[in-house]
Structure 1
């Protein structure tokens, strides 16, 4: 079966991530769930303020199940990808992303309990710092790693032109690296100024930054395919 060739160190990483999810889930069910009031915040606006509430029982999926699902998907991707053997050539990049994203999802799982129990204020900048700041750091990390990602069907800039041509894949990912770093820095900066912006303006700026970067990378790849760029 194609996929990652795991060493003892690799297996230790995935076991540690599984242990993190299991520890978080146990603490959530045994401590946080009984401690929370019956109605808890479950949604936050672009300004970082809680704007949606539900019963605490409704949070079990996001708080307990979702991190396990994300981890299982990340683990399975190299084995499900028809080009899974290529993951061995950028294994460090993929496992680093998997670890960072799993930690991010575990942190998100605890946002509701932390807010419901008064550790995090229902209004303020902390939520935006956590969410947008983490997203920004993930984008920066991906941008730095982009040039090292080898052709595959599930991780990276997967466009018809990159998948059809290894040279297009290589050049597109080299171009995408700085673009993703800029997207990450801009998202990180927004996390510090989000409370000073109207919510609609915050959403608009974030969409321009993220969609603009993605469209720019896709356009570059397309122009390479059309031989407009040489």
Structure 2
């Protein structure tokens, strides 16, 4: 039942991406800005056709990976142990790609949208949702805080992800607030780097505590 739900949500995402691409295509210039530097200066462009197709291709790519990666996962790291959470988070990723890419098209078509604000808001919501489900993830190679110490131990993985869930939700909230106040891309990089470095360091700390207790 949940698999069918996920499939239908993906279909809706793809339909929105196709419709938005078709609607905005005539309004796009021959070359569409698709990449910006840390100072919000355009440093990458794409032809109109591929820019309009990007939302659809991006959502489809994530949808395909959501099926392919569990099938390719080693048995001892089977994703089916947390299949429902995996499905939800893959839908969240599809939504993130859809929102960010549609923002890019709207900006390219001349609409008054701020790409830094859109990307940071989408990233903040992504981490809020990821943090909310983090404690339900089990050891795997594709999603979560994957360090040598979390991948080697269920105990280290579980404790790290309980802590990481709270950390990511805090980081997501901070990112949303920054997006609303001063959407500077370099601030986003600082927040993301801090979250991942703290989480990785915590996993090593827990590893030392558990190994030391033995």
> Which residue is equivalent to 1:20?
13
Distance 1:185 1:83, change over 3 A: farther
Structure-1-length-normalised TM-score: 0.78
Looking at structure 1, the residues matched to 174 and 75 of structure 2 have their Cα atoms a distance apart, in angstroms, of 33
Task: Please say if 1:106 is aligned against 2:98.
Answer: yes
Task: Please say if 1:165 is aligned against 2:153.
Answer: yes
Looking at structure 1, the residues matched to 16 and 190 of structure 2 have their Cα atoms a distance apart, in angstroms, of 38
Give 1:42's match in structure 2, choosing from 34, 46, 51.
34
Unaligned ranges ≥5, structure 1: 1-7
Deviates more, 1:107-116 or 1:214-223: 107-116
Looking at structure 2, the residues matched to 91 and 27 of structure 1 have their Cα atoms a distance apart, in angstroms, of 31
How many positions carry a matched residue from both structures?
212
Root mean square deviation of aligned Cα: 2.7
Structural mapping, 1:1-230, within 5 Å: 8-25=1-18, 27-28=20-21, 30-46=22-38, 52-60=44-52, 62-83=54-75, 86-121=78-113, 126-194=114-182, 202-203=185-186, 205-227=187-209
CA contact (8 A) 2:34 2:51 kept: yes
Looking at structure 2, the residues matched to 54 and 65 of structure 1 have their Cα atoms a distance apart, in angstroms, of 14
1:148 Cα offset (Å): 1.2
CA contact (8 A) 1:139 1:181 kept: yes
1:50 Cα offset (Å): 5.3
1:185 Cα offset (Å): 1.2
CA contact (8 A) 2:18 2:53 kept: no
Structure-2-length-normalised TM-score: 0.83
Structure with the bigger RCO (C-alpha within 8 Å, sep 6+) is 1
Looking at structure 2, the residues matched to 84 and 63 of structure 1 have their Cα atoms a distance apart, in angstroms, of 34
**3-state DSSP class of the match of 1:226?**
helix
Looking at structure 1, the residues matched to 9 and 191 of structure 2 have their Cα atoms a distance apart, in angstroms, of 34
Distance 1:176 1:213, change over 3 A: same
1:105 Cα offset (Å): 1.0
CA contact (8 A) 1:83 1:151 kept: no
